[in-house]
Chain A
Amino acid sequence: MTLSDVRGHSLDLKGIGHAFGTTVALDEIELAVAAGELIALLGPSGCGKTTMLQIIAGFLRPSKGEVRFDGARVEHIPANRRRIGMVFQNYALFPHLSVFENVAYGLRARKRPNAEVAAKVEQMLGLAQMAQFARRLPGELSGGQQQRVALARALAIDPGLVLLDEPFSALDKNLRLDMQIEIKSLLKTFGVTSIIVTHDQEEALSMADRIVVLNKGRIEQIDSPDALYDRPASLFISSFIGHTNLLRGAVTETDRVLLDAGPEINLGRSAQRRRGTAVTISVRPENIAFGAADRPGAIPVTIRATVPLGAVSVTEVLTTSGEAVKISQARAATTTKARAGETAWLAITDTSRISIFSTPADGVQDHQQRSV
């Protein structure tokens, strides 16, 4: 058996709902994951990510709905017969067993012969670059090493599905980037279907084939990282995925929006809303720049501060209607022109990349705060 023969399950969630007492943790979840796909489950704290993983893994029986592996329903199958590799947030390595025995655990539970166990464990530890640590106890490993062991343990049972619950949250930032790349390539090598839970949108963007955005127990959007960034389905997503600037206004013509901050913007396409509708437009920081005062659509702003961030610098400005806007520029292009308190003008670079949303009744502020 070669590695590339190991294929993951396809996974279907149909009408999944779950409540803890009166708390509705999940509602009307519809999700189809293809075999071998790497999915990120992204959402703010308490939106139901862990609950969803526990339902897929079989630790929790959903209040309603169907879970299907390769088309067959599995709700009645207990967790220990589902062939799922789970990586826990705190790794949950068995502290009294050596690295070797941790990885061997699932094979021993399946009563595989010793020789096969040894061969498989060595192979897994080799892939995870942990071979020289086989005899150590988990407590004698660094965070990154523990994580590799946790993944090796999950993969050793040839799982049809690997579930990772915030696997990088305990690692520092540099190590986290390395591990993201390493683990993604390992999961792809195995061709195993994987779901990785995260509340870090950068992690989701960099690792996943598709991202499922969960909010308050419901799926808001399922899309590729690029589509999610360029065409967010809701105001919530536009501010949750990447940074964005939200400007309020109202539709004046089919293709025009008059911003509270001053100018009228020509969208170059239909706003698909009636005249007079209050809208909020989302403009990414790289799609907005300083420009001349007399340019059509120029937005007058007051400079607040400039923050250098390595390769780019971010300037924060305030519109006349009080919206905070961030502009990112290559640092080389930043001049000393922009000083705090001065007036400047902004121009939207590419109006076709603006997203438009109806302004929610509860205001925009709420969404922006949650995106932090």
Chain B
Amino acid sequence: MSPADTTASRQLLPALPLAALFFAAFVLPLTALVLVSLFRDPQFSDLSLVQYVRFLSDPFSLKVLSDTLWLGAEVALATLVLAYPLALVYVASGQFMRTLITFLIMLPLLTSTVVRTFAWIVILGRDGIVNSAMLSLGFWQAPARLLYTWEGMVLALTQIQLPLMALPVINSLLRLDGNLTRAAEGLGASRARIFITIVLPLTLPGAIAGWLLVFAAAATAFITQTLVGGGRIILMPSYIYQQAVGVQDWPFAAALSLIFTLAVTGIVFAVGALSRRFVRGVDAA
């Protein structure tokens, strides 16, 4: 071994624990997953691609996948729509308000997902806060079903995932050169035009980063989906759980996991690549 090789391998030495962890926690299970998915039946008798054929030819499975991806997209869009006004208020505020807003945004991150989800059950339940308020104020005649609905799930996930969107959007808004908006204003642009033509495109990298984070997090949010969605709405995470733990069909569950992982990462990469093509001249956040 030449001296140069020795120094190079020495320099890589500190990375070894991380590499080992990556191997043990990511490469190994993924390989196992691929292997398991290639068996013909739960008895692990024969190797074949039948699990994938089964998924692709089953309308129910395909619907579960598209519903799940759609849920992620919808929640990500909802957080995006909420994050911009919040970020604009933040940037326009003084130091005290900024600290307060930061605290309110970070608050959900400081409590466990389970706690936050149960809070939403309390709010949305049949005897929950919303229903009792609406009934006692006389707006509603009978309690509405809010829990175990698609809308309730989107609402809960939006609140829970908002920090993932708000933080990158605030960050890119803070880095926007104030002279750019001033220049646009001086050239005669209205507030709305400045937002659409200058602020939005220049903060898009942050918004896309947030969108992808929320998309991936919401689509895979097993606990919230299961508890707020109840048993009525079947989405990929609970579908996989049901196939593996309930039906004990491990090969199909493995195939579902792989397909779901590929679909989510595929969308993340596709959106990232698309945005890089269309957002010219803007530093990626």
Q: A residues within 8 Å of B by Cβ?
A: 57-59, 78-86, 88-90, 92, 94-97, 105-106, 109-110, 137-139, 153, 157
Are the C-beta atoms of A88 and B179 separated by less than 8 Å? yes
Q: Which of A59, A109, A139 contacts B188 (CB 8 A)?
A: A109
How near does chain A come to B186, taking the closest CB pair, in angstroms?
4
Besides A94-B180, A94-B183, A157-B188, 12 other A-B contacts (C-beta < 8 A) = A80-B189, A83-B188, A86-B183, A90-B177, A92-B182, A95-B282, A96-B201, A97-B281, A109-B184, A109-B187, A109-B189, A157-B187
Cα distance A145–B179 when bound, in Å?
A: 19
Are the C-beta atoms of A80 and B188 separated by less than 8 Å? yes
Interface: B280 (CB within 8 A): yes
Residue of A whose beta carbon sits closest to that of B204: A96
B interface residues, tally (CB under 8 Å): 21
In the complex, 28 of the A-B residue pairs with CB atoms within 8 angstroms, ordered by the A residue number, are: A58-B186, A78-B185, A79-B186, A80-B186, A80-B190, A81-B188, A83-B188, A84-B186, A86-B182, A90-B179, A92-B179, A92-B180, A94-B180, A94-B197, A95-B202, A95-B281, A96-B201, A96-B202, A96-B279, A96-B280, A106-B187, A106-B189, A109-B187, A109-B188, A109-B190, A137-B280, A139-B281, A153-B187
**10 nearest A-B pairs in the assembled complex, by CB-CB distance:** A106-B187, A92-B179, A109-B188, A109-B189, A92-B183, A96-B281, A95-B281, A86-B186, A137-B281, A88-B179
How near does chain A come to B196, taking the closest CB pair, in angstroms?
11
Residues of B within 8 A of A59 (CB): 182, 185-186
Residues of A within 8 A of B201 (CB): 96
How does the 8 Å CB contact mask read for B167-210 relative to A, with 1 for contact and 0 for none? 00000000001011011111111100100011001100000000
Q: B residues within 8 Å of A by Cβ?
A: 177, 179-180, 182-190, 193, 197-198, 201-202, 279-282
Residue of A whose beta carbon sits closest to that of B183: A92
Are the C-beta atoms of A109 and B281 separated by less than 8 Å? no
Cα distance A82–B202 when bound, in Å?
A: 26
Are the C-beta atoms of B186 and A138 separated by less than 8 Å? no
Are the C-beta atoms of B188 and A106 separated by less than 8 Å? yes
Cα distance A106–B280 when bound, in Å?
A: 21
Residues of A within 8 A of B281 (CB): 95-97, 137-139
Residues of B within 8 A of A82 (CB): 186
Residues of B within 8 A of A109 (CB): 184, 187-190, 193
Are the C-beta atoms of B184 and A105 separated by less than 8 Å? yes
Residues of A within 8 A of B186 (CB): 57-59, 79-80, 82, 84-86
Residues of B within 8 A of A137 (CB): 280-281
Residues of A within 8 A of B188 (CB): 80-81, 83, 106, 109-110, 157
Most buried by B among A82, A88, A90, A94: A94
Residues of A within 8 A of B280 (CB): 96, 137
Residues of A within 8 A of B202 (CB): 95-96
Residues of B within 8 A of A138 (CB): 281
Are the C-beta atoms of A94 and B198 separated by less than 8 Å? yes
